[in-house]
């Protein structure tokens, strides 16, 4: 599964909870977390793993943070090979967390079985949903952080994205993206 979304959408937190649920059900989970590299120093914080503390201690999980090193598209130059290595190593679920910063961070969509776009409830209006780019590539749009005071805005943004998705050309004859 490939996961993307804007900063603050809760990608790492989602992966932590989802990954724990999967390992509790007997799955072996690999997480390939991609962090941006500095254009000045070339360095990267590789901080996504720090938001997955429980999952990082799980014996049935493997988390590998990697820097983009200037590669565009939200993944690294070797993400596809890393996915294959994880599958070959016995991990039956591979989650790829992209850099997730904009409309063009969807190279992972061609590497995975399902591409999920995570959005916060305050993620914009319906016009944001019909922009070409990342929204066209999503197999699933998940509105995250939809609890407490954010339930009403989450339902509103869900309805707006459902409406917007109807305007986009379908990529598959058998699957209609869900929101």
Question: What is the DSSP annotation of 6-27?
Answer: -TTS-HHHHHHHHHHHHHHTT-
Q: Are 58 and 22 in contact (CB under 8 A)?
A: no
What is the percent of the chain where pLDDT is above 70? 77
pLDDT in tens, 58-108: 999 999 888 765 655 566 678 889 999 999 999 999 999 987 665 556 678
pLDDT of residue 18: 97
Q: Which of the four CATH numbers 3.90.1150.10, 1.10.3130.10, 3.30.460.80, 3.40.50.300 does domain 2-167 have?
A: 3.40.50.300
CA 118 to each of CA 45, 91, 92, 146, 161: distance values in angstroms, whole numbers, following the listed order: 22, 23, 22, 11, 12
Q: Are 32 and 114 in contact (CB under 8 A)?
A: no
Give dist(CA 143, CA 153) in Å, integer: 10
pLDDT in tens, 120-143: 887 555 445 445 677 888 899 999
pLDDT in tens, 30-45: 999 887 655 555 544 5
Checking if the pLDDT of 113 tops 60, the result is: yes
pLDDT of residue 21: 98
Q: Which residue has the higher pLDDT, 165 or 152?
A: 152
Give dist(CA 32, CA 64) in Å, integer: 5
- For the record, the structure tokens of 145 come out as 């952080």
Checking if the pLDDT of 29 tops 70, the result is: yes
Mean pLDDT, all residues of the chain: 82
How many of the other CB atoms lie within 10 Å of CB of 149?
A: 8
- For the record, the structure tokens of 49 come out as 């793993």
How many of the other CB atoms lie within 10 Å of CB of 37?
A: 20
pLDDT of residue 61: 97
The domain locations on the chain are 2-167
pTM of the model: 0.84
Q: Are 155 and 131 in contact (CB under 8 A)?
A: no
């Amino acid at each position: 599964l490939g996961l993307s979304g804007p900063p603050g959408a809760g990608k790492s937190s989602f992966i932590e909870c989802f990954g724990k649920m999967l390992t509790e059900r007997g799955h072996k989970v690999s997480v390939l977390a991609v962090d941006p590299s500095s254009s000045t120093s070339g360095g990267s914080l590789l901080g996504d793993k720090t938001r997955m503390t429980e999952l990082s201690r799980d014996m049935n999980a493997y988390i590998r943070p990697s820097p983009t090193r200037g590669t565009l598209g939200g993944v690294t130059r070797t993400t596809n090979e890393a996915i294959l290595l994880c599958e070959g190593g016995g991990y039956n679920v591979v989650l790829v967390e992209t850099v997730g910063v904009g409309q063009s961070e969807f190279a992972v969509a061609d590497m995975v079985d399902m591409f999920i776009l995570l959005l916060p409830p305050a993620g914009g209006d319906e016009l944001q949903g019909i922009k070409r780019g990342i929204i066209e590539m999503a197999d699933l749009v998940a509105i995250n952080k939809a609890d407490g005071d954010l339930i009403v805005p989450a339902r509103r943004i869900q309805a707006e994205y459902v409406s917007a998705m109807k305007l986009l050309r379908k990529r598959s004859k058998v699957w209609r993206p869900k929101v």
